[in-house]
Structure 1
Amino acid sequence: MSHFKPLLIPWLRTQIDSGRYPGVQWTNAERTEFSIPWKHALRQDSSSTDVLIFKAWAEVSGNGRAQGDPSVWKRNFRSALRAKGFKMVDDNKNDAANPHKVFHWPDDSASGANSSAGSQDQEDPDIFEDCGLPTQESQVVSCFDDCLYLPEETLFSETQFRISVYYRGVKVSEQLVENEAGVRLVYSPELIGTVLDYESGLSLVFLPSPGAMLDQTQAKLTQRILDKLGDGLDVGVSGHVVYGQRRGEIKAFWSFSKFDRSIQPQEVSKLQPEPLYMFRDFLQGIKDFTEGRACPPCSLFFCLGEKWPDDRPWEKKLVTVEVVLTSMELLKNLAVGGGASSLQSVELQMSLDEMMEMC
């Protein structure tokens, strides 16, 4: 049996009129503009009530979307708004007291806007939702060509993480983690590989034992750091943000490059998840690259137990970890490896602009 779902426009008007969703309300007497709470998941005051309207649309639109997470609900809701001609007129998502966005009702929807009923037995033309994670460079180009308006998670929420561990500049392990939520770096001498932590949704990545290093002093100091790693270091993705949080006793520092010469140590917070990299900044970097500037980073480097960057090269640090987001790496490689000309197409520039606007 075909799945029936309500038309977005009359459904949404009914929901706004109902007043059952906190913060979802008309903002003018003509009822042509309305506000929607738009709170980032990493905020300390975020709660389940912030995403009720997104979840409601996920439930009525079917296809198992209600089984996703809030970032997916928000993405699908926004994609549906864009497909039906809603325009954002005020972006206050970073407001400290009341993060929200204001949208304008489609001008050509007067006939359907006042209807409280109606259904369709086909999906809305949300072409952006099915683009998926490309696995080849040609698919990236096709993805951009086919989708002028890409959702925030088309590339990024489906990323994988490639984790490389270095002890005193020597790579001692590398593994690919297929978990778009992220990883938690931990140490357990009897375990190797990865294990999913069901409570956090992150994959536990076990750092290897120093083993029989030639320099036993180095091995002893490295072991001391690993033993104090405790609950580890989180590196994950939430919405448009790559975040980090230290959970163990040992301090952690980070940079975009292992050759960072800034001599300005950046410590990862232990108090709360800390934004490290905004996808908007990466997209802007790709746009800048098409204009002849340097290509943006797609990796994060972490130094455990020692301040960094400082006046010592990274190869002298006891424990460093490189975390590569593979979806960003794929797009970067496309740009660097002879694909820059394709990145200069009008369609792609529009796609990048739209993605940045949504970040």
Structure 2
Amino acid sequence: MATSRPLLIPWLVEQIESGRYPGLHWVNQEKTEFSVPWKHGLRQDSSGDDVMIFKAWAEITDVEGQRLHDPTVWKRNFRSALRAKGFQMIMDQKNNDVNPYKVFRFPEGQREASAGRVGKRVRRETKRDAERCAAGNADLQDFDQYYSSIAGNLDAGLKELNISGTQQGTYFNVLVYYRGVKVLEKLVENNAGFRVVFSPEQMHCDQQLETVILPSADQIPIRDQMQAQLTRRILEKLGAGLEVITQGAAVYALRRGDSHVYWSLCKHDRSGVPQEVSKQGNQLHTLKEFIADLLEFMKNKGPSPSCSLFFCLGEKWPDPSQRPWEKKLITIEVSLTSLELLKTIAVDGGASSLQSVDLQLSRSLSLMSSLEEMMDCL
């Protein structure tokens, strides 16, 4: 038998009016908008007071007592409940240095409820509503388990994903091309990153990084002597090479040799503005930016986010003269496998694989909520 639960709106009104939760209060006289503390759990000034309202909702809705000790889950479930009921976030100050918070507006048609009938007994759901809510929470719990291993950061390997029996960490699929012809493909199974060199004896002595050794220019057809000569020149000046490393929730690149290296997030980049990898290092890709772009893509508001990095050795890229990537002498494509898998789940493994339209929508919204929660944690 499903356990009855309080309806969110009258329960939330009662909590706001109670004054028991620091930072939870009305922000307008009509009592249709309220502020909620939204402090990152890793901040030095974070405390139990910052998550009290999230914990309170978790305790009365998680009837099986699952995961009641995870503030991140509390916050995500609270926001999912607001989203499901039609609440609108009208102000986001989660990055405020002094007082991080968010302001939400009650859904239209619920203003009388939000004005408060404090002291009246909180209405309970009917058996039918309770069963439907319990089923929905079960779906959400399954969904959370399906996607929970995505949370984390690139430095720690994004936590291993366990989906349909397939485990995969933060790997780098490295493909090397000489004038558009693939000459090397290697899967780097190293969360720290890798280095690209031509002469192993010249590489930097960082044992944490896996080494990718570029093949000789002898693989280039003998009829193209000029291409082979220019390719050898770039390879010989590569020295200690190019390093691609993870640090925090980001991917960086560092040039250690004399051959200039350029990069982009797209192999068809037509911006004409070269981006050079410096000897001091460049941040190339962040998990936060990827999730933000993925959310926009899921809402049909933006293009598909890139899961790859495209490097060009010895020649400017993106090319100011619009010369295509395939025509460059030495190019390297690096696919970030965890991000590829995350995008596949979001696009193909989510709603499209489900039979029920209602369940498709429910899980799609849950994924978006989970991704937004990940954004808050980065």
Q: Counterpart in 1 of 2:177? A: 166
Equivalent position of 2:190 in the other structure: 179
Distance in 2 (CA, whole Å) between partners of 1:108 and 1:289 is 30
Q: Are the structure 2 counterparts of residues 312 and 149 from structure 1 closer, same or farther at C-alpha, using a change threshold of 3 Å? A: closer
TM-score, structure 2 normalization: 0.55
Match of 2:158 in 1: 156
Partner residue of 2:239 out of 225, 230, 240: 230
Unaligned runs of 5+ in 2: 1-21, 24-36, 53-66, 74-141, 160-168, 353-359
User: Which residue of the partner structure matches residue 227 of structure 2?
Assistant: 218
- Report the structure number with the largest CA radius of gyration: 2
Which residue matches 2:148? 147
Whether 1:245 and 2:218 are equivalent positions in the alignment is: no
* Separation of aligned partners in 2, 1:182 and 1:150: 19
Residues 351 and 364 in structure 2, CA contact (< 8 A), matched pair in contact too: no
What is the aligned-residue identity percentage? 46
Q: Evaluate the alpha carbon distance shift between residue 142 and residue 171 of structure 1 in structure 2; reply closer, same or farther with a 3 A threshold.
A: farther
- One-letter amino acid matched to 2:373: E
Deviations 1:233-256 (A, max 9, x none): 111111111111111111100001
Structure 1 alignment gaps of length 5 or more:
1-31, 34-86, 94-99, 110-122, 130-140
1:102-145 residue CA offsets vs partner (Å, 9 max, x unmatched):
31333799xxxxxxxxxxxxx9956999xxxxxxxxxxx85654
Q: Secondary structure at the match of 1:89?
A: coil
Question: How many residues are paired up?
Answer: 239
Q: Which amino acid aligns with 1:227?
A: E
Q: Write out the 4+ residue segments of structure 1 that deviate beyond 4 Å after TM superposition.
A: 123-129, 141-146, 340-344
Q: 1:301 aligns with which of 310, 321, 331?
A: 310
Whether the 8 Å CA contact 2:261–2:313 is kept in 1: the answer is yes
Please state how far the C-alpha of 1:278 moved relative to its aligned partner: 1.1
Question: Which position in structure 2 is the counterpart of 1:348?
Answer: 367
Matches within 5 A, 1:31-180: 89=39, 101-106=44-49, 145=146, 147=148, 150-152=151-153, 156=158, 158-180=169-191
Structure 1 residue 186: deviation in Å?
0.6
Q: Give the AA of the match of 2:292.
A: Q
Instruction: Evaluate the alpha carbon distance shift between residue 256 and residue 198 of structure 1 in structure 2; reply closer, same or farther with a 3 A threshold.
Output: same
* Residue-by-residue CA offset, 1:310-344 (whole Å, 9 max, x unaligned): 12111111000001110001122233446455696
RMSD of the alignment, in Å? 3.6
Q: Aligned partners of 1:108 and 1:290: how far apart in 2?
A: 29
Q: Tell me which protein shows more helix as a share of its residues.
A: 2
Kindly indicate whether the alpha-carbon contact (under 8 Å) linking 1:88 and 1:104 is maintained by their aligned counterparts in 2.
no
Per mean C-alpha deviation after superposition, the further-off stretch among 316-325 and 198-207 is: 198-207
1:274 corresponding residue in structure 2: 282
Q: Structure 1 residue 152: deviation in Å?
A: 3.2
Which of 299, 310, 315 aligns to 1:291? It is: 299
